[in-house]
Structure 1
Amino acid sequence: MGKTKGLQRRIVGKAKQAVGEIIGDQGLHEAGKAEAERGREEQDKPSDRNPLKKLNQLT
């Protein structure tokens, strides 16, 4: 997945987290938190289009 999908996943996760907290649904809150974290990881992955980002991870 690309950076835009990662960002989308983070936004959806944060929304679920907020709704879960507002309505008092701890399961929804935790699911949103996990989804937002997966989105963050996807965004942080080096892109195939940017070889310099991979170089930064090696150093």
Structure 2
Amino acid sequence: MWRKSSYSAGASNCVEIGRGVGIRDTKAPATHLAVAPGSWSAFLLSVKAGEFAPSGQTG
């Protein structure tokens, strides 16, 4: 099952995540990038910690 962010608001330029499957672009749903659960969790923790925020901004 694929899920789109609630921040997408119906836009077509979105990235979706799929539990146990990976990440895909809504414009190319036939292909996806497989991501291990531990790697995904580490990525989410980094995002929440503001590690990818533009300089001077935090999430």
Q: TM-score, normalised by structure 1?
A: 0.27
Q: Which has the higher contact order (CA 8 A, sep 6+)?
A: 1
Q: TM-score, normalised by structure 2?
A: 0.27
Q: Which has the larger radius of gyration?
A: 1
